[in-house]
Structure 1
Amino acid sequence: MVPGALTIQSAIRLTSGYFIPHLGFGVGYGYGGAFVDPRSATKPCVLEAFKVGYRLIDTAQVYANEAEVGQAFRESGLKREEVFLSTKIYSASHGYESTLSAVDASLNRMGLDYVDLFLIHDASSGKKRRLDTYRALLDARNLGKIKSVGVSNYGVKHLEEIKEAGFDMPVVNQIELHPFCQQKDIVSYCQEHSIAIEAYCPILRGDMDHPVINELAKQYNRDRAQILLRWSLQRGFTPLPRSSKPERIRSNAQIFDFELSEDDMEKLNALDRGKAGSISWNPVDVP
């Protein structure tokens, strides 16, 4: 079966009114798995991703490659409105004034007037500082420096804090998501509150050797990463695969011309191990 009109250029409407692509490209090199120097890897990889058709690039201050993402965008020849650029503020920089400064620093490094999405990278700074950080991001949004505000690695408790504080709810929550770690309570909460879900580690950092995944790859004549990314898309997530290899960057985008059956989706759904299936830091339960 071939899905309707879904392509690499398709997008999801966020509650902020802006659109985020169905598929993104992550550039967190050096964080988990084999180390790749972000200073040398990022620009050529992002340029290749743009060439293939990716339009969502996900970086972070802690990745130390915001500048290279900005350079790749400028060299791509794409118009600003054609790309969706996202970054994050790490817990060590949380606080109201420090966040306002951090937003300006990210814009300067990337050479941009605005970013499409600014996320709180994690909730590890404690309730007061993360709420102060969120308020600062909303204020930066109101100044036109950010189009949309979201969070990452937020559990239900952290999302409820934002709601109880009376702030606009985040438009995105970026969490670890793959068949072995499905974070069902967070996903359910986000869906109930119209919070779009970005999936990091969607291809298990390359460690995909599992009988079910292997069986489906053979059945559909696809590689294992394509099976996992297709699962993520069909679950309604925005997966963020990363790779420093051009051939993998290309193949990871070739997931829009097939569809997993309901039965095969259920085979993957049945692999969930809860938090025990996590392969990343996944700090969704910090106090």
Structure 2
Amino acid sequence: MLAGYRHIDTAEGYQNEAGVGQGIKAGLTAAGLARKDIFVTTKVWPGNAAWGDAPKTYEGIMAAFAKSLAALELDYLDLYLIHAPSGGTERLNEWRALVDLKSQGKIRAIGVSNFTEAHIDEIKAAGLPLPAANQIELHPWSQKPDLVAYLADNGVAPIAYSSLVPLSTWRAKDGQESAKTEEMKAAGAEAASPFKAMAAKYGVTEAQLLLRWGVQKGFAVLPKTMDPARMRENLDIFVFAIDANDMRAIETMDLGDGVAWPSGDPRHLG
């Protein structure tokens, strides 16, 4: 918070909500801020029958919410998301639970994460309120233009995670199965990276360039780092703008689904 961030994003599945709650309390005190000055998001894990993990029922979502709120030591959430569309036949009941929690005043906004057009159409067909947001992987290699256009048409805000995938070594260590395609690996090679030249043009880092791209596309972005210097650097992206030619060039770099939740992943079944 002292670096200037006001949005905290966590999840039941990250198993760190208690620590995040302690950090929020300490950060508010240190920065002289009130609860209303920050925006807190957490996500409920819906279960996944494909993993032998029974999907949560309506009652299960209610219980999970109470547990998350207690762990975070908060009276309300600003945004509560279903982490994935893997709830199968319980998916609509899970969404109904979020709708009811919002109506009870315990959550200011509700949304989803990793949902496709079909999953949101399911909510629409049931006559239920649509999500306020869909948190999805978005970066120049995974731009999801059809999904982003669909979200805009339906008033659902896109929230971008994994914005720095082109710079990351995500699952690149020996013994790990990398979700990066060979095309992505080649595109991100040090000598071949187009982001390096663009960043030099604007006098910024490649990470700043990638985050600025997301902001210019109209996405809320969620940079993640443990380094305080990089935290400040990642926030310092409002002193430059990527010009139209470079934005058009980046549009040609789309390589498909991305690395976190590719099509066919069992978390998407149902």
TM-score (norm 1): 0.79
* Shift, 1:281, TM fit: 2.7
* Shift, 1:250, TM fit: 1.2
Contact 2:113–2:136 at 8 Å: present in 1 too?
yes
* Shift, 1:151, TM fit: 0.2
Matched, 1:190 2:141: no
Identity of aligned residues (%): 40
Partners of 2:34 and 2:22 lie apart in 1 by: 13
Aligned to 1:223: 205
1:67 to 18, 32, 57: 18
* Shift, 1:285, TM fit: 5.2
Q: Which runs of 5 or more residues in structure 2 are unaligned? A: 48-54, 169-187
Aligned to 2:83: 121
Structure 1 runs of 4+ off > 6 angstroms? none
Moved more, 59-68 or 71-80: 71-80
Matches for 1:43-62 after TM superposition, within 5 Å: 50-62=1-13
Distance change >3 Å, CA 161–CA 232, structure 1 → 2:
same
Partners of 2:80 and 2:158 lie apart in 1 by: 14
Give 1:239's aligned amino acid: V
Q: Cα RMSD between the aligned structures?
A: 1.4
Give 1:61's aligned amino acid: E
Matches for 1:12-51 after TM superposition, within 5 Å: 50-51=1-2
Aligned to 1:7: none
Deviations 1:176-210 (A, max 9, x none): 00000011121111011111110010011733645
Does 1 or 2 have the higher relative contact order (CA < 8 Å, sep 6+)? 1
Partners of 1:193 and 1:255 lie apart in 2 by: 28
Matches for 1:125-144 after TM superposition, within 5 Å: 125-126=87-88, 128-144=89-105
Aligned to 1:81: 36
Distance change >3 Å, CA 193–CA 279, structure 1 → 2:
same
Q: Which runs of 5 or more residues in structure 1 are unaligned? A: 1-49
SS at match of 2:235: coil
Aligned to 1:265: 247
Deviations 1:48-76 (A, max 9, x none): xx111111111000101111111111112
TM-score (norm 2): 0.84
Partners of 2:99 and 2:120 lie apart in 1 by: 15
